[in-house]
Amino acid sequence: MNRTVMFPDPSLHPEWIQPHSPEWYAELNDIVGEYQYPWRSTFEEPTAEMIYEKEIMSHLTSDSRILDVGCGHGEFTRRWNHRVKEAVGIDNRENFIRQARQLNGSESVHFMLVNVEDALLPFGDNTFDLVYTKKGPWLYEESSRILKPNGMMMGLYHGGTDGGLRSLFPGLFTPLSYDPYDLDDLVTRYQFQRTAGLTDFQVQLVEEVEYLTRPEDVLIKKCFGQRKEVREYVWSACLRGVEQVFAEHATDKGLRVINFHYVIKARKS
């Protein structure tokens, strides 16, 4: 059929919350108590998280002390059980930390409720061998303080989703405001080279292929972390059109999209 279906922009709804803002994380904390994607999909491997985990592992020994900043409900942090001397996960959402502690069965993995937006984290100088996060680059200067000499700072950042998604659902998804393949622009935007105490910055682009299983998964992905009023509006206004586009473009695996991720590495000088 190949005719364009136009959709309303959910971000214009008065109850829309800017994704990854403090208010957005608070909504997740109140509703589900964990940072877990609720839509159904499959991935081509290796996923971005697999690549990230492998990169982290390459810098660890059994004597390492590591810090996970913004650990959510601790699923990723718990992977270091029996691999390192100590792994600490911190988050500023009480429900996330409560669930992380309930699921934790290791003496070498600990979880703390900490306001990760604070300028200073509650750790002494030269405490950790590696600090990693999926939060923003504000953490880098503080990481330089709490890292041991020659310690590693690592980040995994989501750079948006496309692979045709935004052109298939105009309005529902808006065009990216930047070129996800321009790594020099990424370095400039985040001012990586200006971070005191960290050197040898490396940026790796990861194109993660995901297949959304059902039409409603397109809407669940779009409305992740949003209030009930927004979700109900989007379902009412968009589901029928999404079903039409999905039927025309999905494969046997589902609707193919690309998630752009960046793996950031730096070393304490």
Q: Does residue 90 sit within a domain? A: yes
Q: Does residue 145 sit within a domain? A: yes
Instruction: Give the pLDDT confidence score for residue 188 in this predicted structure.
Output: 82
**CA contacts within 13 A on the Cβ side of 211:** 11
32: pLDDT strictly greater than 70:
no
Q: Model confidence over 89-121: pLDDT tens digits?
A: 999 888 899 999 999 988 899 999 998 777 789
Instruction: Give the pLDDT confidence score for residue 50 in this predicted structure.
Output: 97
85 sits in the region (left: phi over 0; alpha: psi -120 to 50; else beta) called alpha
Calculate mean pLDDT across residues 29-57: 89
Nearest to 145 by CA among 124, 130, 169, 159: 124
Judged by average pLDDT, the poorest of 109-123, 215-229, 232-246 is: 109-123
**Its pTM surpasses 0.75:** yes
CB atoms within 10 A of CB 13: 17
193: pLDDT strictly greater than 70:
no
Dist. CA 151–CA 144, nearest whole Å: 9
209: pLDDT strictly greater than 90:
yes
Q: Model confidence over 58-69: pLDDT tens digits?
A: 999 999 999 999
Instruction: Give the pLDDT confidence score for residue 138 in this predicted structure.
Output: 64
Calculate mean pLDDT across residues 43-70: 97
Q: Does residue 126 sit within a domain? A: yes
Q: Does residue 140 sit within a domain? A: yes
- Are 5 and 241 in contact by the 8 Å Cβ rule? The answer is yes
User: Domains in the chain: how many in total?
Assistant: 1
2: pLDDT strictly greater than 60:
no
The CATH number that applies at residue 152 is 3.40.50.150
Q: Model confidence over 137-151: pLDDT tens digits?
A: 667 778 889 999 999
Q: Which domain holds residue 232?
A: 10-268
Q: Does residue 84 sit within a domain? A: yes
Q: Does residue 4 sit within a domain? A: no
Calculate mean pLDDT across residues 257-262: 97
